[in-house]
């Protein structure tokens, strides 16, 4: 009878250890999935902000509002930088997307250098190029709607 109890006791300890290991693995997996979901949500929000501000930038250019062009261009560049920082190295279409995001930043810097006192038509050329690069990056990274 004692031998049976020992076996049962060891079996119980073993099953507790196995159970704790299973709970730990499931907990870590769930935590990793939540973090991946949050990062994916953050990337989607940044891509939406990039797309929206790029479109607004060019729309205000058509209305002749240089101040709004510069504002939306700065926001577009900010969202591009956020995407560059948050993209994982294994993201699908990363190389093409990063190149396009760098183009967005470069063209928006050009808009800022030209300045608010320039004719809005002069600001519109690099703004359109930035919008085109933003569209290309969103498409390459798979965030297109």
Band of pLDDT at residue 35, cut at 50, 70 and 90: very low
Domain boundaries, the chain: 39-140
Instruction: Name the architecture of domain 39-140.
Output: Up-down Bundle (1.20)
Residue pair 75/55 in contact (Cβ under 8 Å)? The answer is no
- Residue 47 and residue 126: Cα distance in Å, rounded? 20
**Cβ atoms within 10 Å, residue 52:** 15
- Residue 3 and residue 90: Cα distance in Å, rounded? 55
Does the predicted model carry a pTM greater than 0.95? no
CA distances from 114 to 56, 69, 72, 108 (A): 19, 11, 15, 10
pLDDT digits (tens, 9 = 90+) for 82-138: 999 998 888 888 899 999 999 999 999 999 999 989 888 899 999 999 999 999 999
């Amino acid at each position: 009878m004692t031998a049976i109890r020992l076996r049962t006791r060891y079996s119980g300890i073993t099953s507790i250890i196995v159970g704790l290991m299973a709970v730990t693995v499931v907990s870590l997996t769930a935590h990793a999935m939540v973090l991946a979901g949050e990062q994916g949500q953050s990337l989607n929000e940044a891509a939406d902000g990039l797309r929206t501000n790029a479109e607004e930038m060019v729309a205000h250019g058509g209305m002749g509002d240089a101040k709004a062009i510069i504002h939306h261009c700065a926001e577009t560049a900010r969202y591009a930088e956020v995407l560059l920082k948050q993209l994982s190295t294994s993201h699908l279409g990363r190389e093409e997307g990063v190149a396009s995001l760098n183009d967005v930043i470069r063209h928006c810097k050009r808009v800022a250098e030209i300045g608010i006192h320039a004719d809005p038509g002069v600001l519109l050329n690099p703004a359109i190029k930035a919008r085109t690069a933003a569209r290309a990056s969103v498409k390459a990274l798979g965030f297109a709607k």
